[in-house]
Amino acid sequence: MESYLTLAFATTHRVKIEAGEHVVVLGASGGIGSAAVDVARSLGAHVVAVASTDGKRAAAKEAGADVVLGYDNLKDDIRAATGGGADVVIDPVGGPAAESALRALATGGRFCVLGFASGDIPRLPSNIVLLRNRFVIGVDWGHWSSEAGGAHGNAKLLTDVLATVASGKLRPGQPSTAPLADAGRVLQLFGERHAIGKYVLHP
C-alpha cells in the first residue's frame, strides 16, 4: 500500500496527470513502478512502461501499460512511442536512464524523481531542463507526511486510495509469496534485479 500512497501523493500534490497524456514509467515492474503504471492508467493516461527484461515488461503490460520498452535506445524509443515526447516521466530508478528519459520529454514535460533503486543518483543536465521549459519535480511523501500532511493528510490519502481500489479503478497486483526460510533467496533476487513486484514472507 505504501507504493500507492506515494503515487497518490505524487499525483495530487506534486504533478497533475491529465487524461490522454503520455506518461513514461521507468522501473515499471518494481513496487513503485507497477503502482505508477496502474495509477497513470486509472487517470486515463497513455502509459509507456520501461523495464529491463521480457518478464518484467510482461508484468508491466499486465499492470496496464499500453506500450512496453527496454532501456536500449531509450530516448528515441520514447519519442516514437509518444509521438514526439513524453508529458510525464516517473522515475524511481535513477541511473543513466534518467537523462535519456529527461531528453525525451515534450515541451513543458514533467520529470518526477521518486527514488534511486539503481543505487546511482544521476546528474541531470540543467540545460536540458531549460530547453522547452521542462520541469524536474521531487516527490518525497515521507517528508510531506511528517510536516505539512500530518496524520489528517495521510488519512485522506489512504481513504482515497482504498476507495479507488474498491471502485475497481485501481487494480493492485498480488504480491509473490515465499517462506521466511527463503528470505536469503528473495533478497538475492532483489540484489540481482530479478524480482518483479512485491514479496511477502510467511512463516
H or E segment and range at residue 1: none
pLDDT in tens, the chain (203 residues): 789 999 999 999 999 999 999 999 999 999 999 999 999 999 999 999 999 999 999 999 999 999 999 999 999 999 999 999 999 999 999 999 999 999 999 999 999 999 999 999 999 999 999 999 999 999 999 999 998 888 899 999 999 999 999 999 999 887 778 899 888 988 888 877 777 877 889 88
Q: What is the pLDDT of residue 175?
A: 76
Distance CA 86, CA 203 (A): 44
Burial of 152 (0-12, 13-18, 19+ CB in 10 A): exposed
In the chain, the amino acid numbered 48 is V
Separation of alpha carbons 92 and 116, rounded Å? 6
Burial class (CB in 10 A: 0-12, 13-18, 19+), 155: exposed
The amino acid that residue 110 corresponds to is R
Residues 6+ apart with CB under 8 A from 178: 185, 186, 199, 200, 201, 202
Distance separating alpha carbons of residues 47 and 64, to the nearest angstrom: 8
Q: What is the pLDDT of residue 20?
A: 98
Alpha-carbon distance values, 66 to 44, 56, 63, 199 (Å):
11, 14, 10, 25
- Enumerate domains of the chain plus CATH numbers: 2-141 (3.40.50.720), 174-203 (no CATH)
pLDDT score at 148:
86
